[in-house]
Structure 1
Amino acid sequence: MERESMEFDVLIVGGGPAGLAAAIRLKQLAEAKGQDISVCLIEKGAEIGAHILSGAVMDPRALTELFPDWKERGAPLKTAVTEDKVIFLNETGGHTVPNNLLPDCFINHGNYIVRLGNVAKWLGEQAEAMGVEVYPGFAGAEVLYDEAGAVKGVATGDMGLNRDGTPGPNHQLGMELHAKYTLFAEGCRGHLGKQLEARYQLRDGVDPQTYGIGIKELWEVPVQNHRPGLVVHTAGWPLPADTYGGGFVYHLEDNLVAVGYVVGLNYSNPHLSPFEEMQRYKTHPEIRKYLEGGKRLAYGARAIAAGGLQSQPRLVFPGGALIGDDAGFLNAARIKGSHAAIKSGMLAAEAAFEAVGANRQRDALTAYPSAFQDSWLHAELYKTRNFKPYMKKGLWLGSLLFGIDQKLFGGKVPWTLHNTADHTALRPAAECPRIDYPKPDGKLSFDRLSSVFLSNTNHEEEQPCHLQLKDPGVPIAVNLAKYDAPEQRYCPAGVYEIVRDGENNAPRLQINAQNCVHCKTCDIKDPTQNINWVVPQGGEGPIYQGM
């Protein structure tokens, strides 16, 4: 059986801020020129915004360029930042840094605390109203190439496959979506983006990407604990000083507080659990005072591309481009990426519109990286490019060096530091101290399974596992033997579990794929790079409610 196909001028894979901004910009340009352009956007989540998770403090600069009248249009940017606090925590207290000593990237005047999933949903409504064909619940499963080797589109995944990959009774073939240009906006560690980087050698001559995992909860807190507009960032406890990470507490509207913790995935101790560090974090007096007596409403996790400009791949290839966090546009120093995603989507859209209008197709959109080089976004990312390499030197030395870089040199130091791949950082378990994590109290701290329940994650069990092992023997022969099976701890959703069977109590790795929240941490941190995350059926995974 052959798959049906549809043709478009531009196809966009991913319904986050980058993809939606690109779709909207294409339609804006077409309207301004009195031309027609067909734009299709597919999104693997069940609805637009279902898989979006971010802190999030949003710089509205790019949104204002996209929609100068976003306030009048009702964009869900409701809570302006009123106060910044940066605290270095120790086990029982902390020291607040005076704002006049903070680098500019830590000052949030003029920004908004948002629920980014709601912003994405609003962008999706704007896109549909402008004529973009938006299809949630369709996962881009395969890149399609033409005879010349250029990207000609993607195929969506088959539905109704049995666990062994054979067609089940409700089997439906995926569709082929063809386009003159395809923009990939899958977010951090995109499944197709990773393939494109390899095929077109987009990482030749650049540093490996380096990542963090962000774990977030949304709380409803008592009114006396709530300070709308307050942004709190912390460093230090509970992580040791040689491990990069930090926390945040953002006070939204309606007595809502977003609390989260980020751990750099270049940590070396395989006993470390980012999930457990997040649960400990909430028990600190400086954090618990905002949450005590409140109710946890939602939970989720997502990897974050934090390498900066030196880890950014080449952006274009024949037939398409990478945008947003598929290309690592996040500014780790500012702890912001949505404005960068929107701007990158707009720049790629402008290049694609020009090419379509000139009757070109499937060449490299070189106008996009050129426009990025000349943009305010490039200047911003260049200024903070050394943040993650500095912080890999340890909390205190890294903070001092970054402070000097920003306050004395304005980010214009004559050197660029380099990144290494996170999966190479783990040391053997026998060389590292074990970490004794306290049991959850069910009030401030919780276990994984009750947390995953709040993410509304669902996967049809009778389908091929979307967490593929290149070599089934490696998890026991290498990961368990050398690293004490770190996948049990770096996964924030309880997907990976060592169980013991039979009379010999023989260990095996059990993959509870139905728990997966699509954070991509396993694909990044597995020390042997033996785990390959691929898309499950469309519409599956978490359904975040405005995370």
Structure 2
Amino acid sequence: MAEIEREAMEYDVVIVGAGPAGLSAAIRLKQRDPDMNVVVLEKGSEVGAHILSGAVLDPIGLNKLIPDWKEKGAPLNVPVKEDNFYMLGEAGQLRIPNFVMPPLMNNHGNYIVSMGNVCRWMAEQAEEMGVEIFPGMSCSELVYGENGEVKGVVAGEFGKGADGTPGPSYEPGMELHGKYVFLSEGVRGSLSKQVIAKYDLSANSDVQKYGLGMKEIWEIDPEKHREGTVTHTMGWPLGSNAGGGSFIYHLDNNQVYVGFVTHLNYRNPHLFPYMEFQRFKHHPMVADLLKGGKRVAYGARAISEGGLQSMPKLAFPGGALLGCSAGMVNLPRIKGNHNAMLSGIAAADAAADAIKADRSGDRLDDYEVAVRKGEIGSDLSKVRNVKPLWSKYGLLGSLTVGGMDMWMNTFGMNVLGTMHHGKSDADATEEASKHEKIDYPKPDGVLSFDRLTNVAFSFTNHEESQPAHLHLTDADVPVSVNLAKYAGPSARYCPAGVYEFVEEEGKDPRFVINFQNCVHCKTCDIKDPSQNITWTVPQGGDGPNYPNM
């Protein structure tokens, strides 16, 4: 096919992704120089449509970015009033006293929020300052300069046919060039993966680790609602099958966020994370809370869990990785939004200084230093051993040794040094023959739901005539390798039912990709044992349309 000619637009800074990191960077750039030309490109149909987070927000980043956020009406309306930690068994629970938890686990001063709504509000602030924000604009390619630096992205390509060739209504999109390009795509972003590989940014980093987070919003009986209450649990139903846990956050309007995280380094390919979540809701403590209520929304996304030792280099020629694109989540706190905001601020400061000094396109080494030596590095350093300890010793071991390590790090005592993670989550998957199948109860349609019913509550939509945005390196591998050796784990690890193996009498099994169901969690890109699936962006505006996640 002939090379596609595209128009180009020039900006000072191009930002991919209107999440907390990207929007913080845009706002900070305009604070530094109101005349700077800044554009934010968002693949969701609107800002917030693809934002899914717990979320209990530590306002440290917002305090630094917009100190008068309360007066400006930021949607932080539910301060945390109570923290609860439980260890669950199948029929009961044991509360862990708050005083034994390290101080960093205390949520006093934090807020239960919808990060989707926080990002919508941040976008309003950015636009008032003159930032251009274009939703419905997937960034499908990177554009490189003469010296091998990233100089822009291709955005807004529409109308390809199912075979990948331009259809009758094809639009080639545009090239948006910047003196710097910030990638704030969230976990396992497609452009971020390319940049990390091209510039070998992970050469001196540990392997990245991930979890799968699933979340439902429930409206519950007002008599059971406790606004401002935060509850975290560990233990049942995962047990020794996988690491992970749950969160239950009581926000306003009699609504509750119910979430479940499964660490993706589990060995047994028969594990079904989505069904573990559904089973969790039948625990007596949870079932009693939800009884008489109704689920109003569902979604899922991957979470970076590797921490400080897994972060790649953040700066590359012509740009930088922000927030979850680099993996800045504090795992035991289940928080990354505050660090995402701080990273956006730091990247903006470094770029503003470089542009002012006429150093456009250089590596932003000041950003790298600011992250690793500043508040983000300090936050992640204290918890850097929690994940490797959990992987090595299991739940109880991580609670005792990891808890002690966090306590000692609080007082500046570094006894364990920095532990390493070992295998990738894909490599951790073992052959099915080594494990027993897991029998999951059928969803009852009241507390628990089948995947396709729940996906309808993510309000996901994809134009069906476009090419599938989930690419197989080898079309034979799913059946010949993954089904044969691993019992077809993609049919279970996907929280949206995208993948299925169709077995008909007298015919060979077929692998089917229902890309229309995809909620853009990226789990397939992470957990596929053959690393045969690559997640890419569909055309702009497609995917979930989360209301208040």
TM-score, normalised by the number of residues in structure 1:
0.98
Residue equivalent to 1:114: 113
Tell me which stretches of 4 or more aligned residues in structure 1 moved more than 6 Å. none
Residue equivalent to 1:401: 401
Correspondence 1:58-457 to 2 at 5 A:
58-241=57-240, 243-392=242-391, 393-410=393-410, 412-414=413-415, 415-419=417-421, 420-457=423-460
- Hey, what's the Cα distance between the residues in 2 that align with 1:122 and 1:288? 34
1:373 Cα offset (Å): 2.8
1:517 Cα offset (Å): 0.1
Residue equivalent to 1:517: 519
- Hey, what's the Cα distance between the residues in 2 that align with 1:409 and 1:350? 29
**Does the CA-based 8 Å contact 2:241-2:268 persist in structure 1?**
no
SS at match of 1:131: coil
Any idea what the Cα deviations from partners look like across 1:52-108, whole Å, max 9, x if unmatched? 000100000110110110000000001000000000000000100111111123210
Residue equivalent to 1:500: 503
- Hey, what's the Cα distance between the residues in 1 that align with 2:548 and 2:299? 11
- Hey, what's the Cα distance between the residues in 2 that align with 1:14 and 1:398? 34
- Hey, what's the Cα distance between the residues in 1 that align with 2:249 and 2:378? 27
Identity, in percent, stands at: 55
1:504 Cα offset (Å): 2.2
- Hey, what's the Cα distance between the residues in 2 that align with 1:199 and 1:289? 51
Q: Greater CA deviation, 517-526 or 169-178?
A: 169-178
SS at match of 1:394: helix
Residue equivalent to 2:529: 527
1:407 Cα offset (Å): 2.4
Any idea what the Cα deviations from partners look like across 1:16-37, whole Å, max 9, x if unmatched? 0000000000001114xxxx11
Any idea what the Cα deviations from partners look like across 1:322-374, whole Å, max 9, x if unmatched? 00100001111111011000000000000001111112211101110111233
- The amino acid across from 2:465 in the alignment is E
Q: Any stretches of 5+ residues in structure 1 without a counterpart?
A: none
**Does the CA-based 8 Å contact 2:78-2:113 persist in structure 1?**
yes
Any idea what the Cα deviations from partners look like across 1:171-208, whole Å, max 9, x if unmatched? 11111000100000000001000000000000001111
SS at match of 1:543: coil
Residue equivalent to 1:461: 464
- Hey, what's the Cα distance between the residues in 2 that align with 1:269 and 1:239? 12
SS at match of 2:73: coil
- Hey, what's the Cα distance between the residues in 2 that align with 1:14 and 1:518? 14
**Aligned-CA RMSD value:** 1.0
**Does the CA-based 8 Å contact 1:105-1:333 persist in structure 2?**
no
SS at match of 1:506: coil
SS at match of 2:453: helix
**Does the CA-based 8 Å contact 1:47-1:136 persist in structure 2?**
yes
SS at match of 1:177: strand
**Does the CA-based 8 Å contact 1:142-1:157 persist in structure 2?**
no
**Does the CA-based 8 Å contact 1:229-1:251 persist in structure 2?**
yes
Residue equivalent to 1:2: 5
- Hey, what's the Cα distance between the residues in 1 that align with 2:25 and 2:409? 34
**Does the CA-based 8 Å contact 1:523-1:533 persist in structure 2?**
yes
- The amino acid across from 1:413 in the alignment is N
1:440 Cα offset (Å): 0.6
* Number of aligned residues: 542
Q: Greater CA deviation, 155-164 or 84-93?
A: 155-164
- Hey, what's the Cα distance between the residues in 2 that align with 1:242 and 1:256? 31
SS at match of 1:238: coil
**Does the CA-based 8 Å contact 1:300-1:455 persist in structure 2?**
yes
- The amino acid across from 1:276 in the alignment is M
- Hey, what's the Cα distance between the residues in 2 that align with 1:200 and 1:408? 36
**Does the CA-based 8 Å contact 1:212-1:264 persist in structure 2?**
yes
1:222 Cα offset (Å): 0.7
Question: In the alignment, which of 481, 484, 494 is matched to residue 481 of structure 1?
Answer: 484
**Does the CA-based 8 Å contact 2:408-2:414 persist in structure 1?**
no
1:292 Cα offset (Å): 0.9
- Hey, what's the Cα distance between the residues in 2 that align with 1:283 and 1:129? 46
- The amino acid across from 1:78 in the alignment is N
**Does the CA-based 8 Å contact 2:138-2:157 persist in structure 1?**
no
SS at match of 2:267: coil
Q: CA separation of 1:409/1:169 partners in 2, compared to 1, >3 Å: closer, same or farther? A: closer
Any idea what the Cα deviations from partners look like across 1:428-450, whole Å, max 9, x if unmatched? 11111111100111110000011
- Hey, what's the Cα distance between the residues in 2 that align with 1:182 and 1:227? 43
**Does the CA-based 8 Å contact 2:10-2:176 persist in structure 1?**
yes
Any idea what the Cα deviations from partners look like across 1:369-409, whole Å, max 9, x if unmatched? 11123312211111111111111120111111111112245
**Does the CA-based 8 Å contact 1:58-1:338 persist in structure 2?**
yes
Correspondence 1:34-73 to 2 at 5 A:
36-73=35-72
- Hey, what's the Cα distance between the residues in 2 that align with 1:510 and 1:374? 47
**Does the CA-based 8 Å contact 1:423-1:529 persist in structure 2?**
yes
TM-score, normalised by the number of residues in structure 2:
0.97
**Does the CA-based 8 Å contact 1:153-1:182 persist in structure 2?**
yes
- Hey, what's the Cα distance between the residues in 1 that align with 2:539 and 2:386? 37
Q: CA separation of 1:408/1:313 partners in 2, compared to 1, >3 Å: closer, same or farther? A: closer
- Hey, what's the Cα distance between the residues in 2 that align with 1:409 and 1:43? 38
Q: Greater CA deviation, 238-247 or 325-334?
A: 238-247
